[in-house]
Chain A
Amino acid sequence: MKRNIVDKIWQQHAIPTASGHPDILAIDFTLLHEVTSAQAFAELKERQLTVNRPDRCLATIDHSIPTRPDRHRVDDPKAIQQMQTLKRHCQEQGIPFHDIDSGHQGIVHVMGPELGITQPGMTLVCGDSHTATHGAFGALAFGIGTSTLSHVLATGALLMHKPKVMQVGFSGQLPAHCEAKDLILRLIKELGVGGANGHVIEYTGSAIQSLSMEARMTLCNMSIECGAMAGLISPDTTTLSYLKGRPHAPGDSEACHQWLQWASDADCHYDRVLRFDVSDWQPMVTWGTNPAQATATHEWVPDAQHPSDQAALTYTQLKPQQAIQDITIDWAFVGSCTNGRIEDLRTVASILQNQRVAGHVTMYIVPGSEQVHRQAVAEGLDQVFRNAGADFRLPGCSMCLAMNDDVVPAGARCISTTNRNFIGRQGTGSITHLASPTTVAHSAIAGHIKSGVNP
C-alpha cells in the first residue's frame, strides 16, 4: 500500500478504539508557552495528576515578554503572574524551561527547530495555532487548545479523528524576487481563510524542493490561515543537513537514513489535490483584515466583492483601484514565528545596508530567539540595522499580537512580516499589511509599500 506521510505517522502513533470513536494519538513532544498553559496545569492539579513525560516537554516565554533592553521589567502585573505561573509549574513537574537570558529563550516555533527538537516522523503539539511551523521537518505538528494540552500533559496522548490530507503541489520555480511568504499568501488568497478546514496540507513539488528549511517553516507556519490543522513537507536532504549537529538531534547517519523513510510514497493517495505552477507568481501583500485579502504588490486595491471586503476596506482606509505601491506606511515590523529567523534577518540586512529607513517610519526588527539574536550580532547585522535607523530589539512575539508593550498606535499603518492582519491584532485601531521580509525592508526605506521588483 502506498502511503502519504500523514498515513505513515498516523499508523505508527494511533491506537484505534471503538468504531466511530476518535483514535488515541500518541504525542512525542509538547512545547509550552505562558499564555495557554496555566489552566492546563490547574486542571492536572485539580485531578491530582502529574505530567506523564516531562522530558518530552519544553517550555519558554515569548508572548508577553518585553523586547526592550530592560526586558526584565514587566509592567503588567497579570503578565508577570502568568510568566511566574509557567515557571513554577515547570519546576514542580520537572519540565525543562528556557528562561530569558538562558541563551535559548525565544518564540516556541523558532526555538524548537533550531535546537533540533523537531524531527521527521514525530507528532508534536503546542497550545498555539502556528505549531504547523514544525511541519517543515516532516513532523505532524498542530495547535491545540488548553484542555487538549492538559490531556497530552497527563496522558501523552489526545483523541482525534484522522484528518484528511490535501496535497498542494507547487510546480515550476518561484521567481527570484519572490519568497516563501509570497507563496503562502497567494495560496491563502486562492483557498480562502477556511478553504483547507478539516485537512492537513502536504506541500510538494519542485518549488518546495528548492526552498531552505527557514523558508519551509515560513510556508508551513501560515497553513492555519487557510484553515488547515497542519501543513507539512516530506523530509529530504535539505531537512537532514539542517538537523545535523543541532543539540537535540542525533548525530549518526542511521537516524538520518530512517528519517527519509517518512517521506510520502510516490503515487500515494490524497483526499484532495491542488496544483499550481508558481513560475509567474509575484510578491504579495494584504490589503484587508484577513490573510486571504491579498494581492500582488504591483497591483491595485481590488473592488469589494462581498460586504466583508467593504468592511475590511473601511477599516484599512483604502479605496478600490488605489495603487498598492502608493500606500504610505508609518511602521515596519520584521519578526514573529513566520519571519523572525536568521535567514529573514539576513535578507532584511542586505536591503538596509547603506540605506536609511524613511524619516516618518518606525521600524522594529525583533529576532525570533536569543540564538537568532546572537547570530545576528555575530554577523554584524545589528550594526546594519542601527545604521539604517531601525530598532533591533530582544526576542519575543512582540508586535505580532501586541501582548507586550510593542504596539502599533491606533490609526497607524504597519507593514509586517507577521501572519495575521486581523482588526486590532497589532494594537487597537492599528492597520496591518502582511508581506515578506524583502517587501517590508524595501517599504521601510521608501516609506510606502514597495516590493523588491524594479519598477
Chain B
Amino acid sequence: MKALQTINSQPIVWAQQDIDTDVIIPAQFLTTTERSGLGQHLFHRMCQSDAEFPFTQTHNRDRTVFITGDNFGCGSSREHAVWALMDWGIQAVIAPGFADIFSNNARKNGLLLITLPEPDWQQVLEAGLNDEHIAIDVKQQRVSAGHLEWTFDLDPFFKSLLINGQDELAYLLQHQNEIQTLQQQLSRTQFLTNRSTT
C-alpha cells in the first residue's frame, strides 16, 4: 500500500445519495481475475448514457478527490468498486456517510473515505461545485477549500497504516501466534464435524 499524507485536487462532484456498488461497477465486469484495469469501467452505465456525467468530462480526468452523497457504496460487497475508483485515479471520497462493507474495502486498499457531518459536507459540496481546490491533510485530519476548513474523524489505527503505507495483513501476521492459540481453544468447544461431502 502506498503511503498517503496529503491530497490536493479540484474535486469531481456527483452528489447523489445511495449510490450502490452495482452503479460503481456493474456485474458484467466482475469476471476479471485482476485488480487493475477496472477504472475504464467506473460508473459504466452513467458514462454510456449521460454525456454530461462528471466522470466523462475530460477536464475532470486528472482529479483525485470525489464528493458524493450519503450512504455511498451500498449494496454488493464487490471490492471491484474500490479498485475501479482507485484505478481511475481517485484518492479520497467525501460524503456524509458510507456503507459498511465499502468502507472496510476502502481501508484495505488505502482509499481515504472522509465522512463529514451534513452541514460541513454541504459547504464542501458548494466549494466543489465552484470548482475550488480541495486540500486534504491526513495527519491533521483536515480538509480545506479556499479560506474554509473542516476536520474529520479518522480511526487512529487506519490513520497510522495510511500515513506509513502499511497494510492490515502484515499486522495480522505479526499476531499469528495469538490467533493460533485462540483457534486451538475454539476447536475444543466447537462441533464442526468433518464428514466429507466432497
Q: Is the pairing of A and B real?
A: yes
* Interface residues in chain A, defined as those with a beta carbon under 8 Å from any beta carbon in chain B: 12-13, 15, 17-18, 20-22, 24, 26, 28-29, 35-36, 38-39, 42-43, 47, 49, 53, 55-56, 63-64, 76, 78-79, 81-82, 85, 96-98, 102-104, 115, 117, 119, 121-122, 127-129, 143-148, 150-151, 154-161, 193-194, 197-198, 224, 227, 229, 247-250, 255, 258-259, 290, 308, 401-403, 420, 422-425, 428
A-B residue pairs, 6 tightest by C-beta = A147-B108, A145-B105, A145-B79, A194-B71, A38-B33, A78-B31
Q: Which residues of B contact A26 (CB under 8 A)?
A: 179, 182-183, 186
- Given known A158-B172, A403-B28, contact A193–B157 (CB-CB < 8 A): no
A78 with B32: CB separation less than 8 A: yes
Bound CA span A424–B27, Å: 9
Q: Would you list which residues of chain B between 123 and 169 have a CB under 8 Å from chain A?
A: 155-157, 168-169
A39 with B33: CB separation less than 8 A: yes
- Given known A12-B186, A193-B71, A248-B197, contact A157–B33 (CB-CB < 8 A): no
Selected contact of B195 from candidates A102, A128, A248, CB within 8 Å: A248
A428 with B77: CB separation less than 8 A: no
Q: Which applies to chain A's interface (DSSP): helix, strand, loop or mixed? A: loop
B191 with A250: CB separation less than 8 A: yes
Q: Which residues of A contact B112 (CB under 8 A)?
A: none
A22 with B157: CB separation less than 8 A: yes
B193 with A156: CB separation less than 8 A: no
A28 with B186: CB separation less than 8 A: yes
Q: Distance (Å) between the CB of B112 and the closest chain A CB?
A: 16
A197 with B100: CB separation less than 8 A: yes
Interface string of B92-126 (1 = CB under 8 A from A): 00000101110011001100000000000000000
Q: B58 within 8 Å of A by Cβ?
A: no
Q: B82 within 8 Å of A by Cβ?
A: yes
Bound CA span A401–B32, Å: 16
A156 with B71: CB separation less than 8 A: no
Bound CA span A402–B74, Å: 19
A53 with B183: CB separation less than 8 A: yes
- Given known A97-B198, A193-B18, A248-B195, contact A39–B34 (CB-CB < 8 A): yes
Selected contact of B179 from candidates A28, A156, A401, CB within 8 Å: A156
Selected contact of B104 from candidates A18, A47, A145, CB within 8 Å: A145
Q: Which residues of A contact B35 (CB under 8 A)?
A: 39, 42
Q: Which residues of A contact B32 (CB under 8 A)?
A: 78, 82
Q: Distance (Å) between the CB of B109 and the closest chain A CB?
A: 6
Q: Which residues of B contact A13 (CB under 8 A)?
A: 182, 186
A20 with B156: CB separation less than 8 A: yes
Q: Distance (Å) between the CB of A202 and the closest chain B CB?
A: 17
Q: Which residues of A contact B178 (CB under 8 A)?
A: 15, 24
A227 with B74: CB separation less than 8 A: yes
Bound CA span A449–B43, Å: 32
Q: Distance (Å) between the CB of A311 and the closest chain B CB?
A: 9
A76 with B22: CB separation less than 8 A: no
Name 14 interchain pairs, CB-CB below 8 A, sorted by A: A18-B157, A38-B34, A39-B35, A39-B79, A42-B33, A47-B169, A53-B183, A96-B196, A115-B197, A158-B172, A197-B100, A308-B17, A401-B27, A403-B30
Q: B45 within 8 Å of A by Cβ?
A: yes
Bound CA span A119–B189, Å: 12
Q: Which residues of A contact B197 (CB under 8 A)?
A: 96, 98, 103-104, 115, 247-248
B33 with A154: CB separation less than 8 A: no
Q: B26 within 8 Å of A by Cβ?
A: yes
Q: Distance (Å) between the CB of B182 and the closest chain A CB?
A: 5
Q: Which residues of B contact A198 (CB under 8 A)?
A: 100
Q: Residue on B with the closest CB to A126?
A: B77
A15 with B104: CB separation less than 8 A: no
Q: Which residues of A contact B63 (CB under 8 A)?
A: none
Q: Which residues of B contact A258 (CB under 8 A)?
A: 189, 191
B169 with A154: CB separation less than 8 A: yes
- Given known A42-B33, A96-B196, A154-B169, contact A422–B77 (CB-CB < 8 A): no
Q: Distance (Å) between the CB of B58 and the closest chain A CB?
A: 25
Q: B51 within 8 Å of A by Cβ?
A: no
A194 with B18: CB separation less than 8 A: yes
Q: Which residues of B contact A39 (CB under 8 A)?
A: 33-35, 79
Q: Distance (Å) between the CB of B117 and the closest chain A CB?
A: 15
Q: Distance (Å) between the CB of A308 and the closest chain B CB?
A: 7
A145 with B101: CB separation less than 8 A: yes
- Given known A36-B77, A145-B79, A157-B172, contact A403–B109 (CB-CB < 8 A): no
Bound CA span A422–B19, Å: 10
Interface string of B169-182 (1 = CB under 8 A from A): 10111011011101
Q: Which residues of B contact A115 (CB under 8 A)?
A: 197
Q: Which residues of A contact B47 (CB under 8 A)?
A: none
Bound CA span A42–B34, Å: 9
Q: Distance (Å) between the CB of A40 and the closest chain B CB?
A: 9
A308 with B18: CB separation less than 8 A: yes
Q: Distance (Å) between the CB of B143 and the closest chain A CB?
A: 22
Q: Distance (Å) between the CB of A291 and the closest chain B CB?
A: 9
- Given known A143-B77, A159-B171, contact A424–B45 (CB-CB < 8 A): yes
Q: Distance (Å) between the CB of B196 and the closest chain A CB?
A: 7
